[in-house]
Amino acid sequence: MTSANTAILQIICPDQAGLVAKIADFIHQHQGNIVDLGQHTDPVSKTFLMRIEWELKSFKLKKSDLKKYLKTWEKQYQMDIKLFFRSQKLKLGILVSKYPHCLEDLLMRQSLGELSVKIPVIISNHPDSSKVAKYYGIPYQQVSVEEKNKVQAEAKILKILKKHQVDFVVLARYMQILSQDFIAHYPNQIINIHHSFLPAFKGGKPYHQAYSRGVKIIGATSHYVTAELDNGPIIEQRVARVSHRHGVEDLIRLGRDQERLALAEAVRLHSEHRILAYENKTVVFE
Amino acid sequence: MTSANTAILQIICPDQAGLVAKIADFIHQHQGNIVDLGQHTDPVSKTFLMRIEWELKSFKLKKSDLKKYLKTWEKQYQMDIKLFFRSQKLKLGILVSKYPHCLEDLLMRQSLGELSVKIPVIISNHPDSSKVAKYYGIPYQQVSVEEKNKVQAEAKILKILKKHQVDFVVLARYMQILSQDFIAHYPNQIINIHHSFLPAFKGGKPYHQAYSRGVKIIGATSHYVTAELDNGPIIEQRVARVSHRHGVEDLIRLGRDQERLALAEAVRLHSEHRILAYENKTVVFE
Amino acid sequence: MTSANTAILQIICPDQAGLVAKIADFIHQHQGNIVDLGQHTDPVSKTFLMRIEWELKSFKLKKSDLKKYLKTWEKQYQMDIKLFFRSQKLKLGILVSKYPHCLEDLLMRQSLGELSVKIPVIISNHPDSSKVAKYYGIPYQQVSVEEKNKVQAEAKILKILKKHQVDFVVLARYMQILSQDFIAHYPNQIINIHHSFLPAFKGGKPYHQAYSRGVKIIGATSHYVTAELDNGPIIEQRVARVSHRHGVEDLIRLGRDQERLALAEAVRLHSEHRILAYENKTVVFE
Amino acid sequence: MTSANTAILQIICPDQAGLVAKIADFIHQHQGNIVDLGQHTDPVSKTFLMRIEWELKSFKLKKSDLKKYLKTWEKQYQMDIKLFFRSQKLKLGILVSKYPHCLEDLLMRQSLGELSVKIPVIISNHPDSSKVAKYYGIPYQQVSVEEKNKVQAEAKILKILKKHQVDFVVLARYMQILSQDFIAHYPNQIINIHHSFLPAFKGGKPYHQAYSRGVKIIGATSHYVTAELDNGPIIEQRVARVSHRHGVEDLIRLGRDQERLALAEAVRLHSEHRILAYENKTVVFE
């Protein structure tokens, strides 16, 4: 429940006494009305993490001056600060391969107003999803990827993303492994959906792994993509009960729902700037 | 999570700009280090609700002076303020009838250190649980209740609770309906466990009701007791899947686990002062 | 996991000794290989319920003869028997009003092969969903309903359903209450999705009811439609945790997922003939 | 659900046509009234698995003759057959180390009649739980285990279990790894509770592993003990949501409930002969 015309600060820094007061007071001094404040101190690493959102209506500080202040804080408190404005919807670029269920789910949710993002482009290494892209009126770019042209393909994809000024990327069951170079362009801004309850069943064919292990619960995990495969900061996980009666096909079917939910929730949280990533973990201020 | 030597403020008042800053700053001014801050503004009733916890180690304000300040706030901002200290564990009085599972669960958890409460007395209208009370070394007082002596029985119970300086009461499957007069002595300080997913199946024999309705999920609800039966502010709810294969006995068995979990969580949250009740609802700062 | 070329029997009758043996043996006598057998005896009403599925490949009995046998059973054992063939997909007619999420979800699942049904027609009292119907290549019939023309509207809808030989009907957030006459045409063959955890919050605006009651868990319920509103046999229920931070809009958003899941599961179970309805309850052989 | 005076058959064999009919008919031929029948055919390994329960009241076959028949079946159909009688409660031996919560939970449930087992003995390598054992009137044997005396200790434990004619063993947070020789005495009759969502976080300190990985859901897994550590057939799994706010201590606290539930359910299922283990998996006929 937050009004549209607000500013949001994400702050990560070494813990110090008085930070909450300092920040809240600063916003209040300039007639900013705080509508949401989430704060957490990691007891192990003594890291201070905060998300604060306030109304701009009555806020007396010009954006440029605000940014100046934040610069001084960054030095003074060794803060890692991110500033966002609700009015500026993030631009989401979706990468997809053959399985369309996550893509279709995201498009459906956005059309229902569940996700406050713009989707300027969908990129795929297959033609399959061009029809649904067209239905939703979103440009669809096919970039086929083979072993031999991986580098060029990534360069092409990167160019398309930059051209559409994409803020963050979702791998909606995109079946190509991205290079470190590629990932470096979007640190903690590439969200992947892995079709298992990580860290169980990393890598390929997780549902087959789950079936042969005979687990009683399957799951899906959305996480930020890092250099290490399936090992980035976990954003959201969903699970479903299964039994001996469920074959691999059933696990895949039941898993699809968990994939949809875990990915859609991650996109929602990211687009509302509710996720702070640090030490290969996430702090989610819901 | 939170160190033992802390103070906690629960604040409810009409929303006004700058409250978070004001309160956080006040604590900081007196060298209090905030370890946990939860805040919510009800968008409908424009009610401001806050829970703030800070370390007393370095805090420069004497308790008496702190209380003076809070008094002035109460007037100035029409605040409803409650002040607690972690070091002062709440005293819990448990009322129980014949079913022992919730009582035994609470005693087990407290002995494991899961619940930061003292349990000075257990009161029952039956002798059944005296053995387990003895095992845990807790005084057990039997107060039998019949239609004709209800008023005297409640008076007796009240006297026992006062004598043991009980801060809050748990009805661990206590099968007597308490009078308004009794409840008035412990506003939002009597926690009941109802063995259904409220508001469904109020009143008696909820599992039988659930069975005959053929629901696919059953539940349990912990709530504060108010004058209206089974209609007080809901604290926690738990559910379990059932099928046609589950008879009433099975629902009762499965329900017991949900009752234990929903009640134990409510006691934990209350004892850590994480629940703010208003407008027949709860705001829970986990 | 059942092969496509199978027959399925649904049997409901007063319990008698030897029914399982009788039926299994009958199928075996005629070289039918049983691939799935679900059986339940209601201990209260002493009702015998069974779902048995067997391969037709090697089955030696002609359909006509099989049906003759079943006729004799119906008399001999007072059996209510239904016979289905996997190869004959049920025809599903969908009724929808303005909210498209359940409709779109069903269409998406069917296109993914999750639901073994044909969808010959979509009927709505609004034009809104014609576009998505067109996208999936399904005839879309608009039948506007006002107070004064309710009877004619239902007659029109019925005519369309009959014309398309619809086997069962789904109310995918269809906001008109159907008459008893209409319902009588499809006994236990009209599936509704109610956006609450029934029996809680029957009738209108359940999410608003849930919000004002302050529940900690919301839900959705799919059930067969009977004369009594929101009181038919429950097929599936799904729930989601909520907190004070969730406004009505959030409950509606979170609820949509539960509605989709509860309805899609009901359609899947019904289309695979896994639901036996009796005494205003369902027995689901998963 | 099922009456007390019943017989139960567990059957595992290569799939063949007509098995269900054959077995059901055999029981019916001798006036046995089937009260519960669960059947599954593994589509991959073509394995037939069945659990059938029937009333002995009217059953005309002497136990000795019944066993003779089963012997012939075992040859004829390469069946692995187990025969049980509800009236003969299984004897459960519990091994525990320092953490008492699973032990106490099992004892509480048995005293409530939730578990139809006898518990003739509790064995521990620590004195801690002797008090609770005494409270429930169960012999408590302390067998301390050090590196140097592991073999003798296991021999001693085995002797105690045999002396009390224990049918199956539960490791209620027993922190010693059992030798292959020991396990061989109770194939698929030793149930362990692992405090993670297997196969994630095998081995030691799973909650610490979960915390540092930053998972959003934790779990517990009950499984049969095999030679390979934490890799036996999974019986039941339970999960709980966690967030960044939960420290290791909180994960341990929340995990305890999942451990209790996953272990108690496994004991219930095993004691009712509902679990068939094969190919390092379980088929659970609930």
Query: A64-111 pLDDT, tens per residue?
Result: 999 999 999 999 999 999 999 999 999 999 999 999 999 999 999 999
The one-letter amino acid code at D100 reads P
> Hey, how many other C-beta atoms are within 10 angstroms of the C-beta on B86?
18
Distance CA C228, CA A260 (A): 35
Nearest CA in chain D to B255: D114
Q: Identify from C48, C193, C217 which residue to disrupt to test chain B contact, counting B C-beta atoms within 10 A and taking the largest count.
A: C217
DSSP class of residue D22? Answer: H
Q: Categorize the per-residue pLDDT at D278 as very low, low, confident or very high, splitting at 50, 70 and 90.
A: very high
Residue B11 neighbours by CB under 8 Å, 6+ apart = B19, B23, B48, B49, B50, B51, B52, B79, B80, B81, B82
* Spatial distance between the Cα atoms of B35 and B54, rounded to a whole number of angstroms: 5
The C-alpha atoms of residue A253 and residue B76 are separated, in whole angstroms, by 59
**Token pair 């849930």 is at which residue?**
C210
Query: Residue C258 above 80 pLDDT?
Result: yes
Mean pLDDT per 10-residue section of chain B, whose length is 286 residues: 80 94 95 93 94 95 96 96 97 97 97 96 97 97 94 97 98 96 97 95 93 96 96 97 96 97 98 97 96
Q: State chain A's mean pLDDT as an integer.
A: 95
- Give the contacts of C279 (CB within 8 A, at least 6 positions apart): C42, C45, C47
Second CATH level (architecture) for the domain D90-284: 3-Layer(aba) Sandwich (3.40)
| A265 has a chain C CB within 8 A of its CB | no
pLDDT digits (tens, 9 = 90+) for D45-75: 999 999 999 999 999 999 999 999 999 999 9
User: What's the whole-number mean pLDDT along residues A51-60?
Assistant: 95
Q: Which residues from chain B sit within 8 angstroms of residue D108, using beta carbons?
A: 101, 104-105, 108
At B56, is the secondary structure helix, strand, or coil? coil
Closest listed residue to residue D254, CA positions, set B114, A220, A238:
B114
Neighbours of chain A (3+ CB pairs under 8 A): B, C, D
> Does D106 score more than 60 pLDDT?
yes
Average pLDDT (D272-279) is 97
* β-sheet bridge partners, residue D52: D9, D37
Calpha distance C124→C127 (Å, rounded): 7
What is the reported pLDDT for D2? 44
Q: What is the pLDDT of residues D142-160, one digit of tens each?
A: 999 998 999 999 999 999 9
C-alpha distances (whole Å) from A65 to each of A25, A84, A197, D111 are 16, 15, 45, 69
pLDDT in tens, A146-194: 989 999 999 999 999 999 999 999 999 999 999 999 999 999 999 999 9
Flag if B20 and A24 touch (Cβ within 8 Å).
yes
pLDDT of residue B4: 80
Domain boundaries, chain D: 6-85, 90-284
pLDDT of D83 = 98
**Could you give the ipTM of this predicted complex?**
0.95
Query: Is residue D1 scored above 80 in pLDDT?
Result: no
- C-alpha to C-alpha distance for B57 and C183, rounded to whole angstroms: 70
Write down the H helix ranges in chain B.
19-29, 63-76, 101-111, 130-135, 150-163, 180-184, 206-213, 248-271
d(Cα A278, Cα C150) in Å, to the nearest integer?
60
Give buried/exposed letters for C107-131 (b at 16+ CB in 10 A, else e): bbbbbeebbebbbbbbbbbbeebee
Give the pairing type, strands D190-194 and D168-171.
parallel
CA B248 from chain center: how many Å?
A: 29
At C203 the pLDDT is: 86
d(CA D121, CA A173): 53
pLDDT tens figures, C51-92 = 999 999 999 999 999 999 999 999 999 999 999 999 999 999
Inter-chain residue contact A112 with C135, CB threshold 8 Å: no
If 0-12 CB within 10 Å is exposed, 13-18 middle and 19+ buried, where does residue C278 land? middle
pLDDT tens-place string over residues B40-99: 999 999 999 999 999 999 999 999 999 999 999 999 999 999 999 999 999 999 999 999
Q: Which long-range contacts (CB under 8 A, 24 or more apart) does D54-57 make?
A: D54/D6, D54/D7, D54/D27, D55/D3, D55/D5, D55/D6, D56/D5, D56/D6, D56/D7, D56/D32, D56/D85, D57/D5, D57/D33
Which residues lie below 8 Å from residue A9, measured CB to CB, with a gap of 6+? A23, A50, A51, A52, A53, A70, A81, A82, A83, A84
List, in order, residues 6 or more apart from B13 with CB less than 8 Å away. Answer: B19, B47, B48, B77, B78, B79, B80
Predicted confidence band of residue C17 (pLDDT cuts 50, 70, 90): confident
- C-alpha distance from A137 to closest chain C C-alpha (Å): 13
Q: How far is A234 from chain C (nearest CA, A)?
A: 20
Contact predicate D81/D73, CB 8 Å = yes
Percentage of chain A exceeding pLDDT 90: 95
Q: Do A27 and B37 make contact, defined as CB atoms within 8 angstroms? A: no
Question: Are the beta carbons of C164 and C120 closer than 8 angstroms?
Answer: yes
Could you tell me the maximum CA-CA distance found in chain B, to the nearest angstrom? 63
| C44: its two tokens | 């209260």
The pLDDT of C120-141, averaged and rounded, is 97
Best CA proximity match to A281, nearest among D247, D250, D214, D245:
D214
Question: Tokens at residue B166, please?
Answer: 């009980």
How many CA atoms does the CB half-sphere of D265 hold within 13 Å? 22
Q: What is the pLDDT of residues C166-218, one digit of tens each?
A: 999 999 999 999 999 999 999 999 999 999 999 999 989 999 999 999 999 99
Contact: B197, C200; criterion CB under 8 Å: yes
At residue A284's C-alpha, the angle toward residues D201 and D217, to 5°, is 25
Burial-class residue A190 by CB neighbours within 10 Å (0-12, 13-18, 19+): buried
CA dist A150 and A138 (Å) reads 25
Reference D202, options D223, D187, D178, D180; nearest CA is D223
pLDDT of the residue at B15: 94
Whether residues C108 and A104 touch (CB distance < 8 A) is answered with yes
For domain C6-85, give the CATH superfamily: ACT domain (3.30.70.260)
pLDDT of residue B203: 86
A240 lies within 8 A of chain B by CB: no
pLDDT at position D24: 94
- CA pair distance B84, B86, nearest whole angstrom: 7
Q: What is the DSSP letter of D129?
A: T
Residue D35 at interface with chain B, using a CB cutoff of 8 Å: no
To the nearest whole number, what is the mean pLDDT of chain D? 95
The answer, yes or no, to whether residue D3 has pLDDT greater than 60, is no
Considering the entire predicted model, what is its pTM?
A: 0.96
Question: Is pLDDT at D112 greater than 60 in this prediction?
Answer: yes
- Number of CB pairs < 8 Å for B and D? 32
pLDDT of residue B1: 42
Q: Does C42 qualify as catalytic in the annotation?
A: no
Using one digit for the tens of pLDDT, what is the confidence trace for A14-43? 999 899 999 999 999 999 999 999 999 999
What is the distance between the alpha carbons of residues B106 and B170, in angstroms, rounded to a whole number?
10
